A and B are shown apart, each in its own frame.
Chain A
Amino acid sequence: MIHSNLKHISKASVLLLFVLVGETTLAQKKQIVKQKPSVVAAQRMTVTGVVNDHSTGKPLAGITVSYADIAADLTDEKGIFSIKVPSLDVELHLKAEGFEPRQVSLKGRSELSISMLTETGKSFQQNAVLHHESKPMRKNTASIGSIGFNGNWNRPFESIDELLQGQVTGLQSIRRSGATSKGANLLLRGQNSLYGSNMPLVIVDGMIFDPSDYGNSLMGGNHTNPLSLINSQDIDNVSVIKDASSEYGAKGANGAIIITTGRAKRQATSIDFGVYGSYNQMPDQLPMMNASDYRVYLGEILQSKGMGISAIAAMPYMRDDSLTNSEYFKYHNNTNWQDKVLRNSINKNYFLKVTGGDNIATYALSIGFTNMEGVLKSNNLTKYNTRFNAAFNFSKRLTGQANLAFTYNEQSLRTQGIDAKTSPLFVALTKSPLLVANEVNEKGIFSPNLGDTDIFGVSNPSVLIEKAQGTSKNYRFAGSYTFNYDLAKSLKASAMIGVFYDKNRENIFLPRKGVADDTLSNAIADSRLGTQVRRLFSTYFDAKLEYDKTINNDHQVASRIGLRYQKNAAEQDYTLGYNSATDELISVQNGVGALRQTGGGINEWNWMNSYFSTEYGFKERLFLTFSAAMDGSSRFGPDAKSGLGINGVRYAFMPSLGAAWIVSSGSDFGTSSRVDLFKLRATLSRSGNDDIGNYTARQTYTSQNFLGMQGLVRSGVPNPSIQWETSTKANAGIDVAFWNDRVAMSLDLYSSTTTDMLVYEKVLSGSGFENVLTNGGAMRNSGFEAMFNMRAINRPALKWDLGFNYATNRNKIIKVPNDQFLTNTHGATIITQNGASANVFFGYKTNGVFANSTDAVASGLKTKNADGSYSNFQGGDVQFVDLNGDKIIDEKDMQQLGSAAPRFHGSFSSKLSVARFTIDALFTFSQGNEIFNQLRYYLESASGTDNQLNSVVNRWRTEGQVTSMPKVSFGDPRGNNRFSDRWIEDGSYLRLRNITLSYDLFLKEKFVKNASLYLTGNNLLTFTKYMGYDPEFSAGNAGFAQGIDNGLDPLFKSVTMGIRIGL
């Protein structure tokens, strides 16, 4: 049965091959006959061979064996083929559906025996789908990672940036938070820029896809992730170009991710349908103090504030007599507030994909519906997506493609992270457990109404969940048309025109009841209302001429020259209102007129890139590539120091060179070698980063109010020599495959140097400016990457694939102004220093807590007070390390506390197929990265009435007590909570990122072609010493924000069940 099916398929594929290449082959033959009789003679050499299945040893029929575009044969039932070749120094290609393609060097042999592996998807014969072409990995000179998705049928709730985690060596994907569709921060081979973007360039179906979130969300801590608008189930292939991305000119410094979405692979109509449901588990809660511990703590903190014992005892939460204390029931509870804001939840997804067509046009149409609920109550996402990809054959010479996609998201969101008034999770952690969510009267009867702000001025988390509102409606339309015209046999012209339009509308409302007031400059903000619209409109044009020719069968030349142009406009408009008449009036126009604030911004920028690339291949064993791009951009200053000046405009010139040599194909490598591939490759390239601000080179005037009048003042000093950051990359790699292609491994060594790096240079006071943005910095990343894939077991009914990715990167600052500078962000201090790596936490080291005051005073250590005087430390204060020995703990004692960049990171994968069952597991790991646990900083600072972590119970309370937790002290006068190693934690982790059990149903029904069941677990196991919710998070895209846990909604475990049916 299977056999006959295979036969049909292989016959069909041969037919298809003939349709595609027949004409050219014939044409070529004719030509060759006319001009090169010697070649024809050579072609009479015949190679025969037998092909068998590696797992069973049985011969395989229907395998296509081909030599270039010139000769092909199919194996017969005994697995035997026979093919004519010009010499015995050529390569044969073998392929068949369901099997890993193979390439065999004849090396003088005319009789071969070849084993074929069932598909692993990891061999060097797999095609990497690149921007202009699709070619086997073995032909690449650059370091490229390629993942065949074939539709993402088992993890429909993850966006592409999340799915890339652990898939490509050297690509660090750090998920931002557990809120729905927040996506991940992508870093390829470390951080290349301090102030510019570190996000790789994303190209979807040939068009640049801008993944940036322009402007800020009205709901703090939220990031709108445009990549989540690419439905991951539509994705066919992702290739990650780590070096030699010169062709993208001033946008290529961070590498490129090339995403190809699904299109019809055959003309017959095929329908695939998937239904999924997922259960999301509430994250493990942080251990906060319970009511009794908290009350003791509260008593101490009020005392340290200076309140007398009797005054404290008179507070309603201290008076324990329910008869005399009318507020007894309001303040005598033990509420777990995390329960009030976190939950278990359910996701749903439906997806339908239809492909088909005829010889004029083929299409792939997909539609999907997703509903995702986060683990934070009220967090919710509904997504509708559709995509239409089509390919047309208008005539023999004129073909075209259309890619149209539209995705619409509707989200309910809340403020995330550290926000003492409006972030539900943070308020839930800090809210006193003595209180309850609902109103309660003096008899202890609870009302259904939610309570107001409490006696400590803290919001009611339940109000933030249930009564506050935050919605985001966003969509992106992306569409492109491509036309190709064959000008001559080897010459093709093509043009793409594309557009995308993004819109994101947000509305927020925070009621007056239950939310702590905000203070404006001239009023108290009871209730807060807001609306915002953000738009991004981008048009894209790419035209090119391509030349592709094989000369004398040995020399392959492919060249292209083209021009890209992108025009962008981003706009943000917001209105904030305050104090609507009642909490029922929630739209922004109901705010008090005098307090209304409006604002926003408009940004426009253009980019033009002309590119040239040429690839040369000799006998499929030596490959040379050269590419160059010339970029112009509205962002570049007219006086840029590097680049080329043409007609008053500066252009960046970005060349690259690459070479690869397949040593194993040479006949001197030996025919008996078990090595299937031994390839050396190297590239040297230059690319740029154009994320330098849109108007930095221009002198602009901004409005300056003076009473109600508007004046105009200069908005800063322009830098007409502002330019792109230049990245020079060198890469050397080895690709090896052996054991009948069962083992494939790559090693890469690279160095990437950013020069002209944007830095803020301090300037003389006399200029009136603090600093100016210049291209005065430099930084280097160097590292090592290893990839290993193996078919460990290859039996007919048992197959086990193992994979391993490992990357280590060292970042080094080469040049910054004044050799070093400090950056304060999210409560952390970060040092950037020549010779050290970027983003090193810089603070105080501690040496425990003084057990008693005599020791503390005897130590002689002092700290400076706000008024400039000095105080001794006391018992229960933190003992900071006095680095410079002057007995004064001040900024001179700050030192490096570690970096947020991991020493190494990567993944293991395992895929075990037993009969119809497959278990696919992916482990990811990150080692040696430090985290500043800012959330714990707030929850262990013991300096206010906020609830604290259970660890604060062990605080220092009496003279002589030995503990690591300092005493409570209101307002922290001794600076025990200064930025120190108290909150720096090891962020290393090993995680079972994903495990999928799938089962292919055996179906007799002809109507249904195939059906699979999936059971997937996400984040099920995490091994880490990290004390926060989860060691994976990203506070922001800037390098300086890496490794800072600012309490965003945590990642969670989930289990997904799904079924896919193919018709």
Chain B
Amino acid sequence: MKRKRDIMKICRMETALLLLVAAVFSTGCQKIFDIKPKDTLDQSQMYQNVYDADAAVLGIYGKFMGLADRYIILNELRGDLLDCTQNADENLRQISTHAVGVDNPYASPKPFYELILNCNDVLENFKKMKVQNKMTELEFNQRYSDIGALRSFIYLQLGIHFGKVPYVTSSIKNVDEVKNPDTYPVIGFDALLDSLIAFTEKLPYKDLYPAGSNLNITVDGYQTQKFFVNKKVILGDLYLWKGNYQSAAVNYREVMETGTQGVAGGQYYSLYKVGWDSNGDVDHYISYSRAGDASTLVQNTQWRIMFEQPFGSSGFDREWVWVLPFDSKFNPENPLIRLFSPVGGSYTVRPSQLVTDMWNAETQKPAQGGSIPYDARGLLSTKQIGGQPVVMKYLYNYLNYSSLLPVNPLAKTGKWFLFRQTHLHMRFSEAANRSRKHKLAWGLLNSGIAGAFPAPGSDVTNFHNTLNEPYPFNFDARNSGSTGVPYYRADWYRNIGIRSRANLVDLAIPASDSLLSIENGLIKETALENAFEGTRWPDLLRIAIRRNDPSFVADKVYNKLIKSGVSAGAASTARAKLLARDWYLPFKW
């Protein structure tokens, strides 16, 4: 009996204790186990106000900087202007010869998606903030549109290089979502363009951050406005890829007219208008201190200076649409010195023989003493260092243009160039040309609107313009000269054309075929003007797709490879591959 009672007692006691513990557990434990990290920010502490939103935007751009070398390698080394040096490793050579293995790190889509996923997270949370009134409508519109447009840009890059890609629009909140294949719907390039256009077009704010915004400031000596993607340019590009030339031209035109506001002055007439300014630091001509003397090519100012100029200077502002700085004082380290420079870098890529030949095949405008038989932009875009050709555009903040030595070998300051007014004019012209505005396109390419629509005499009322054309092709470049009657200084009167600015003779177009000749001329001019700035491969690919002519890209790559000394077999393999429309990198899942 006693034993039974004892056992009963034990059981009762233990039951009571278990109940006690259960009581402890069901209260208050949640708090004990809810520890927020202190050296990082917990989700619950993020996205509380507009400053958090600004930090999210800056974080995205900080991460975006990490794509700089990849962007240039994929967009230029796959094309025909950039080539490998003997220092290049197998991976770079694979990119150059279009024989990319699936494990090639430059061909990994992962870094793009890392950024996209971050963008998705930001977009999703911005929407929540707006609903919760943690941002004003305007603050939301500006920031949401910025990150949205940047994401579209990255997706466009993915489409260009991989063709069919997973179009991920969710932020992926946990490992289960990561592992769920439904998160990654794969779509083709054309469908991707549709999705991107639909998304980007709907962005509520398409201008830049205005003065007074937290994100349009000067920090560490850099004016930040041009750090951020230009949404209209992205939209223009998307339409151009899609073949919607009218919409492309509309968007580009709006950017071209950025300066057309306020009081008429230098900025009004030449911001993104490829206009003269009587100041070499601003208008970026090619010229000679003694006319006709090739040895007196101006280097300390004019065309070359646009790559060296500081953020916020007039010349810089009028030329550049989108550019990001690498500063040696801050991470990340500038990867472009390592890529391009034989001094303080690894010098793994160099200008191709093909681009050198292209420059050398040009002729400059006849001046006193005769014309100079090459394009001087070649001499300013590249230099010989130690007998080796070097891409200089990215190095002018690091190496002195004349001594070719660094001021401080470890101060690897530089810029990542993404978009400038010549891209803008060439792409607008491409759209205009396809919209049958051949002469306008030809004019912007060569000697400007006034050059294409010259004035016969002193009455310039109906000349120097395309005002009879519908928007966006109606430009007014009327200029009466100092004595003209009536007196005209129209918005575009200073536009001088890309080739004219570079002191080159106009491109002759056979009367029989304006469309393709002008398009070819535009693509070629982008190569000469904007070589190594990350648009060559997309330009070639876009035209090849548009014309359904793979030889447009295949032959150019083949020529580069043949001239670079790669085996003829490898060059032919690359050509055959591209001819077979095998244009895309292997997508490593």
Q: Which residues of A contact B (CB under 8 A)?
A: 35-36, 491, 519-524, 545, 547, 549, 551-552, 555, 557, 559, 561, 563, 565, 594, 600-606, 608, 610, 612, 614, 630, 632-634, 636, 639, 646-649, 651, 694-695, 698-715, 717-721, 761, 763-770, 772, 774, 864-868
Contacts and interface: CB of A to CB of B under 8 A. Distances in A.
A632 B328 contact: no
B58 A706 contact: yes
A521 B29 contact: no
Contact of B59 (A555, A563, A713): A713
Contacts of B172: 717, 767
A700 B219 contact: no
B338 to A, nearest CB: 11
B385 interface: no
Given A522-B411, A561-B17, A866-B89, A601 B39 contact: yes
Contact of A701 (B43, B178, B179): B43
B88 A867 contact: yes
A702 B46 CA distance: 10
B175 interface: yes
Interface string B560-587: 0000000000000000000000000001
A648 B18 contact: no
Nearest to A769: B178
A565 to B, nearest CB: 8
A559 B40 contact: no
Given A600-B39, A708-B330, 18 more contacts: A523-B410, A565-B32, A608-B29, A632-B25, A632-B29, A634-B35, A695-B35, A706-B58, A709-B219, A711-B58, A713-B118, A714-B117, A763-B178, A764-B181, A767-B184, A768-B118, A867-B89, A867-B93
A248 to B, nearest CB: 16
29 contacts: A491-B13, A519-B410, A521-B331, A522-B410, A551-B7, A563-B24, A594-B329, A604-B38, A606-B33, A608-B32, A630-B25, A632-B29, A633-B33, A636-B33, A646-B29, A694-B37, A700-B42, A702-B41, A706-B62, A708-B220, A713-B56, A714-B118, A717-B174, A765-B589, A766-B183, A766-B589, A767-B178, A769-B178, A868-B89
B34 interface: yes
Contact of A766 (B14, B40, B109, B111): B109
Contacts of B333: 521-522
Interface of B: 2-3, 6-7, 10, 13-14, 17-18, 21, 24-27, 29-30, 32-43, 46, 52, 55-63, 65, 86, 88-90, 93-94, 108-118, 121, 165-166, 168, 172-176, 178-179, 181, 183-184, 219-220, 222, 325, 327-331, 333, 410-412, 587-589
Contact of A707 (B21, B46, B330, B411): B330
B33 A634 contact: yes
B56 A647 contact: no
Nearest to B55: A712
A768 B33 contact: no
A646 B26 contact: yes
A702 B222 contact: no
Given A520-B410, A606-B35, A766 B173 contact: no
**Interface centre among B58, B116, B331, by most A CB within 10 Å?**
B58
Contact of A713 (B17, B39, B62): B62
Contacts of B35: 604-606, 634, 694-695
A709 B228 CA distance: 14
Given A521-B410, A561-B14, A707-B330, A772 B38 contact: no
A615 to B, nearest CB: 12
Nearest to B332: A705
A92 to B, nearest CB: 24
Contacts of A600: 39
A695 B166 CA distance: 30
B25 A646 contact: yes
A561 B18 contact: yes
Contacts, number: 246
Nearest to A572: B39
Contact of A765 (B25, B26, B110): B110
B55 A649 contact: no
Contacts of B178: 717, 763-764, 767, 769, 772
A867 B55 contact: no
A770 B88 CA distance: 26
A711 B56 contact: yes
Contacts of B330: 705, 707-708
A268 B184 CA distance: 77
A718 B171 CA distance: 12
B574 to A, nearest CB: 14
B110 A768 contact: yes
Given A719-B174, A765-B113, A772-B175, A648 B37 contact: no
B90 to A, nearest CB: 3
Contacts of B14: 547, 559, 561, 612, 614
A744 to B, nearest CB: 34
B220 A768 contact: no
B411 A547 contact: no
A711 B42 contact: no
B17 A765 contact: no
Contact of A721 (B25, B56, B176): B176
Contacts of B114: 768-769
Contacts of B176: 721
B549 to A, nearest CB: 31
A693 to B, nearest CB: 11
A868 B24 contact: no
**Interface centre among A634, A646, A700, A709, by most B CB within 10 Å?**
A709
**Interface centre among B17, B36, B113, by most A CB within 10 Å?**
B17
Contacts of B29: 608, 632, 646-647, 649
A700 B25 contact: no
A711 B90 contact: no
Contacts of B36: 698
A721 B113 contact: no
Nearest to A605: B35
**Interface centre among B7, B52, B179, by most A CB within 10 Å?**
B179
A309 B14 CA distance: 89
Contacts of B183: 766-767
A784 B282 CA distance: 83
Contacts of B21: 561, 563, 610, 630
Nearest to B112: A768
Nearest to A701: B41
Enumerate the 9 nearest inter-chain pairs by beta-carbon distance, A residue then B residue, closest first: A711-B59, A868-B90, A711-B58, A768-B114, A706-B62, A768-B113, A713-B59, A699-B43, A766-B166
Contacts of A764: 166, 178, 181, 184, 589
Given A712-B46, A718-B173, A555 B13 contact: no
A487 B112 CA distance: 67
Given A700-B43, A708-B219, A547 B13 contact: yes
